[in-house]
Amino acid sequence: MKDEINIFSPATVANVSCGFDVLGFCLESVGDNMLIRKTKKKGIYITKIKGDFDLPYETELNVAGVSALAMYQTLNVDFGFEIEIDKKIKPGSGIGSSAASAVGSVFGMNQLLGNPYNKTQLTQFAIKGEALASKCEHADNLAPAIFGGFTLVKSIVPLVILEIPSPSNLYATIIHPQIEIKTFEARAILPKTIPLNNAITQWANFGSLIHALHTNDYDLIKQSLNDVIVEPHRSKLIPYYNEVKKTMINAGALGAGISGSGPSIFSLSKGVETAKHVADNVSNLYAKTGIAFDVYVSKINTQGIQIIK
Amino acid sequence: MKDEINIFSPATVANVSCGFDVLGFCLESVGDNMLIRKTKKKGIYITKIKGDFDLPYETELNVAGVSALAMYQTLNVDFGFEIEIDKKIKPGSGIGSSAASAVGSVFGMNQLLGNPYNKTQLTQFAIKGEALASKCEHADNLAPAIFGGFTLVKSIVPLVILEIPSPSNLYATIIHPQIEIKTFEARAILPKTIPLNNAITQWANFGSLIHALHTNDYDLIKQSLNDVIVEPHRSKLIPYYNEVKKTMINAGALGAGISGSGPSIFSLSKGVETAKHVADNVSNLYAKTGIAFDVYVSKINTQGIQIIK
């Protein structure tokens, strides 16, 4: 069995407009690289962090460390693991930075152990790391990172994750304005109660989106990507949100919305050419704002987290 | 072209636990018979109503008449239609009595006219009849009656109806306690706002149910048939609701819930034998209550409303 392994731990988009708190999808062109290595010394050690994000080396304070510990405590082994993180996804970006760290460690450890745990069990461990970052237990970024494609987290207790198929020609375009929104702050802005009528609209759209993904119906994806619950509140936290969304849709995107808790904004398009056109147009728009930003175009990553050969 | 036509207009179950206001399915063994006949005299006439339900003959006050008029007003013809209704579904039963009337007239007229209108257009006309009965425009019983199978009414304006596939071995068992609950009364008991957390649970279950229907996953159907929004309120209007639900599930049903706005209670089962077993057990239970009731077992009717040869 190998003693070390290199991992690509992907960025992810959670919520996806109408699927707040339960739906997510996985990206292919953005993610962290991680190295997991068996050590003679027992325990979990964060030994290297690349990237200018001031992340803690203390295992109990590091997202990858906490999820690794959750798994490690179930093992009866006379060795330990060290973790190196090449952090490429900026924390607080809204594309699953903490989730990538949380799943990378447990996926890598599981590989080095001969895969004793299944994907749902790995998600269960990773939830502990994710909770450190976001102050609550959720899996809407973890699940797509581990399973790939689109995932629906049906429930957390018990943890039930559904893999939703998606059309093969679906691409995401994401703009990440370089401002930080903390997940727990984005949660605090949400109302505790919502109008029943809006909830009905939301689950009609959500059921419709699940149906559209099953039937490769791009037009129905377009009709379903609406969010009447969360977007009206959280979009206020994102500079030029409405202009970005309008630009993306005018450039041909099927729909656009807040990625996770923001500030990133995602769109979905049919075909890579349209997705690139969306990227060009939204880059032109945001260049005028004076706010630094990144733009990504990515196919939906149906494999999820993977070993780098 | 024929001058008259006999129609079987099926009963339907709306809401289906987690799909409040948007989901419904069609029954095979319960429904009204209707006869639609071309007349030399222009206009719409209700000429015969069988069944002891004291339904009005005035076209503008009769559900089948109102939907027929909505369609008739779009036609430029020098003849009229008369409608005979053999009403078998008791009004206020919660299994789409008004919807069956509303769709029967327009479906039959459309047939006699050579089918100028598609199913969505027929639903649009039928909404006018349904609104007479329930005081609001909705299509969650109309759509499954016209399309058959499971339907998702994505939106009313514009009217978008999705046909959801379902496993071939899925059967419904329905108990109809002989008390009347008016749709508008059942609506009045609902809260105007709901906790966001409950809404998230509901759309997780709803998305999961749509996925389960697509993948023939009976176990996931079972896990998804929960209603945290409406059932806690409306179940109070139905005598022995909790006992009925428990009995159905203990007898092997995948799940149970309020049919439409009640008082009927539906359950879904894998296989006709289980559905019959559920019917037997729930009949035994309800026989002790002193309240008159009917029990139905039905395959999911994938054809919907149809011509009787």
A229 reaches B (C-beta below 8 A): yes
Give yes or no for residue A181 having a pLDDT over 90.
no
C-alpha to C-alpha distances, A129 to A49, A109, A121, nearest whole angstrom: 16, 15, 14
- Which range among A49-63, A96-110, B75-89, B219-233 shows the weakest confidence by mean pLDDT? A49-63
Residues B159 and B233 in one domain: no
Three-class SS of A20-43: CCCEEEEEEEEEEEEEEEEECCCE
Residues B208 and B289 in one domain: yes
Residues B106 and B41 in one domain: yes
Q: Is B130 a catalytic residue?
A: yes
A61 reaches B (C-beta below 8 A): no
Residues B159 and B41 in one domain: yes
Q: What is the pLDDT confidence band of residue B78, given thresholds at 50, 70 and 90?
A: very high
Residues B115 and B203 in one domain: no
Q: What is the pLDDT confidence band of residue A51, given thresholds at 50, 70 and 90?
A: confident
Task: Write down the residue that tokens 């949400």 correspond to.
Answer: A190
Dihedral over alpha carbons A219, A223, A225, A231 (to 10 degrees): 150
Edge-to-edge strand list for the sheet holding A255-258? A255-258, A265-270, A170-177, A293-299
Task: Kindly list the residues from chain A whose CB atom is less than 8 angstroms away from the CB atom of residue B193.
Answer: 193-196
The reply to whether omega before A144 is within 30° of 0 (cis) is: no
Candidates A12, A130, A173, A274; catalytic one: A130
Task: Write down the residue that tokens 């656009």 correspond to.
Answer: A256
Contact B126, B7 (CB under 8 A): no
Closest to B203 (Cβ–Cβ): which among A203, A211, A224? Answer: A203
Chain B (160-189) residues lying within 8 Å, Cβ to Cβ, of chain A: 160, 162, 164
Give yes or no for residue B286 having a pLDDT over 90.
yes
B196 reaches A (C-beta below 8 A): yes
β pairing state of B43-50 and B80-86: parallel
Q: Residue A43 has what pLDDT?
A: 97
Q: Residue A1 has what pLDDT?
A: 64
Task: Kindly list the residues from chain A whose CB atom is less than 8 angstroms away from the CB atom of residue B206.
Answer: 203, 206-207
Query: What does the pLDDT average to over A250-276?
Result: 97
Contact A206, B22 (CB under 8 A): no
Check which CATH number belongs to the domain holding A213 and give it: 3.30.70.890
CA distance A217 to chain B (A): 11
Residues B10 and B155 in one domain: yes
Q: Considering only alpha carbons, which residue of chain A is nearest residue B154?
A: A204
Query: What does the pLDDT average to over B147-156?
Result: 98
Residues B191 and B157 in one domain: no
Does the predicted TM-score (pTM) go above 0.80? yes
Task: Kindly list the residues from chain B whose CB atom is less than 8 angstroms away from the CB atom of residue A229.
Answer: 196, 199
Give yes or no for residue A134 having a pLDDT over 80.
no
* Total count of domains within chain B: 2
DSSP letters of A60-79? Answer: GGSHHHHHHHHHHTT---S-
Residues B275 and B198 in one domain: yes
Residues A187 and A117 in one domain: no
Residues B201 and B155 in one domain: no
Task: Kindly list the residues from chain B whose CB atom is less than 8 angstroms away from the CB atom of residue A16.
Answer: none
Check which CATH number belongs to the domain holding A30 and give it: 3.30.230.10
Give yes or no for residue B183 having a pLDDT over 80.
no
Query: What does the pLDDT average to over B279-288?
Result: 98
**Dmax over Cα atoms in chain A, in whole Å?**
59
Q: Considering only alpha carbons, which residue of chain B is nearest residue A153?
A: B204
Domain that holds residue B143: 4-164+303-307
